[in-house]
């Protein structure tokens, strides 16, 4: 059974710092991995999607890496801003007919001005 873990559960940093969020998964047979952002009480916004054959994806100040063999992914946020404050969720999919997502519990990020 696939399990996804995110560390740390919460993180507080001063504005301008670079930071890394971690995600690990127990079954390396994944189809893809996504990082999402969730603002309090809101839906999910997809940030980056990495296919199982890829090693990393970049979008602006965000960079996500994937090491399938070790069951790990990291989300790197450069030059953090107060507007980056949110919960960041990692999810893996096993592909197949439904491509359902299995989520971690998230990292709550607070960027202090």
Partner 1 sequence: DAGVTQSPTHLIKTRGQQVTLRCSPKSGHDTVSWYQQALGQGPQFIFQYYEEEERQRGNFPDRFSGHQFPNYSSELNVNALLLGDSALYLCASSLGSASGNFGPGTRLTVT
Positions that interact with partner 1 (CB under 8 A): 4, 32, 34, 36, 41-46, 49, 89, 91, 93, 95-106
How far CA 100 is from CA of 30, 31, 42, 55, 108, in Å, comes to: 11, 10, 20, 21, 23
Q: Which is nearer to partner 1, 12 or 18 (CB)?
A: 12
Q: Which is nearer to partner 1, 62 or 102 (CB)?
A: 102
From the CB of 28, what's the least distance to partner 1, in Å?
19
Q: How far is the CB of 113 from partner 1 (least distance, A)?
A: 25
Least Å distance between CB 18 and partner 1?
25
3-class SS shares of the chain: helix, strand, coil, % to 5: 5, 55, 40
Q: Name the residue nearer to partner 1 (CB basis): 96 or 113.
A: 96
- Please state, in angstroms and as integers, the Cα–Cα distance from residue 95 to each residue in 36, 47, 69, 76, 101, following that order: 18, 19, 17, 25, 9
């Amino acid at each position: 059974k696939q399990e996804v873990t995110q560390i740390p559960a919460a993180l507080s940093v001063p504005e301008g710092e670079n930071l890394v969020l971690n995600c690990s998964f127990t079954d390396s047979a994944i189809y893809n991995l996504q990082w999402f952002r969730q603002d309090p009480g809101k839906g999910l916004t997809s940030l980056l999607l990495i296919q199982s054959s890829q090693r990393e994806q970049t979008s602006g100040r965000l960079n996500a890496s994937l090491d399938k063999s070790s069951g790990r992914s990291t989300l790197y946020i450069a030059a953090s801003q107060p507007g980056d404050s949110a919960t960041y969720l990692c999810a893996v999919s096993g592909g197949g007919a439904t491509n359902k997502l299995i989520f971690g519990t998230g990292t709550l990020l607070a960027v202090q001005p």
